[in-house]
């Protein structure tokens, strides 16, 4: 959902570039893929079939990867495919398979909180669109120049200008990882004891 709003915001940003009245082919493609991504995202949260929701999420995340490609951020696009399509969705499906997720609609798939959730989502989307449009209003990508999103450029920017946030994020993720291990061990103590008793 966040990615979709980002994409939509970026679409608005590219629309504000000098080619507003005569959009180029790339801009039209960008807009169309953005619409498809938005559609897939909406289906993801509205469908009553749990596994279908996960598979529509694949379409939405893949659409965002295509948007990255169209913005010449090749490296980010492949990382998006690798992490989200290849791992996160597989993990989601794995989790769904462990539940009773039936084939066909689940009648209790709708949460009672959906109106609150909708409000939060719209507020978050609005804030993100506003921030991104405001930040990139007059920026546009020169497609004929050197590639701006190549691995070399991304790496250089990341490790020269944004090292501190990068390291802070790493520490945050490490903390989350350790936390997850601690939590799973705490709940699993009796489980392992039982298993060892069996042996």
Partner 1 sequence: MNDVLDVALRLIVVFAVFLVLPLVIGQTEHKVMAHMQGRLGPMYAGGFHGWAQLVADGVKFAQKEDVVPAGADRRIFQLAPAVALLPYLLVLVAIPVGPSEGAVGQVIDAGLFFVLAVMGVGVLGSVMAGWASANKFSLLGGLRTAAQLLAYELPMLLAAASVAMAAGTVSLPGIVGAFEWWWLPWQITGALVFFTAGLAELQRPPFDMPVADSEIIFGAYTEYTGLRFALFLLAEYAGIVVLCALTTVLFLGGWHGPFGGGWGWTLLKTAVLAFVVIWLRVSYPRLREDQLQKLAWTVLIPLALAQIALTGIVKVAIQ
* Binding residues vs partner 1 (CB under 8 A): 51-52, 55, 58, 74-75, 78-79, 81-82, 85-87, 89-91, 93-94, 96-98, 101, 103-104, 147, 150-151
Closest distance between partner 1 and the C-beta of residue 90, in Å? 5
Our CB check for partner 1 shows the closer of 5 and 37 to be: 37
3-state SS assignment for residue 139: coil
Q: For residues 90 and 135, which CB has a smaller minimum distance to partner 1 in the complex?
A: 90
Nearer to partner 1, 82 or 127 (CB): 82
Question: Measured from the CB of residue 69, what is the shortest distance to partner 1 in angstroms?
Answer: 11
| Alpha-helical regions (H) of 87-162 | 89-98, 114-136, 151-160
Q: What is the DSSP code string of 41-77? A: HHHHHH-S-HHHHHHHHHHHHHHHHHHHHHTT-HHHH
Residue 100 C-beta: closest distance to partner 1, Å? 11
CB of 57 to partner 1, least distance (A): 11
Integer CA distances (angstroms), 108 to 27, 41, 50, 97, 103, in order = 41, 20, 10, 17, 14
């Amino acid at each position: 959902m966040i990615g979709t709003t980002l994409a939509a915001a970026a679409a608005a940003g590219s629309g504000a570039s000098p080619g507003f009245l005569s959009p180029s082919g790339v801009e039209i493609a960008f807009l169309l893929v953005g619409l498809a991504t938005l559609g897939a995202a909406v289906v993801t949260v509205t469908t009553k079939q749990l596994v279908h929701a996960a598979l529509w999420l694949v379409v939405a995340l893949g659409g965002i990867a295509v948007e990255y490609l169209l913005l010449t951020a090749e490296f980010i696009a492949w990382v998006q495919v690798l992490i989200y399509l290849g791992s996160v969705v597989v993990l989601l499906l794995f989790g769904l398979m462990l539940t009773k997720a039936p084939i066909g609609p689940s009648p209790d798939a709708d949460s009672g909180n959906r109106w609150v959730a909708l409000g939060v989502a719209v507020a978050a989307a609005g804030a993100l669109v506003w921030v991104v449009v405001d930040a990139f209003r007059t920026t546009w990508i020169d497609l004929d120049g050197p590639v701006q999103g190549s691995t070399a450029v991304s790496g250089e920017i990341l490790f020269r200008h944004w090292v501190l946030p990068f390291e802070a994020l790493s520490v945050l993720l490490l903390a989350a990882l350790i936390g997850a291990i601690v939590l799973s061990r705490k709940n699993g103590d009796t489980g392992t004891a039982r298993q060892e008793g069996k042996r």
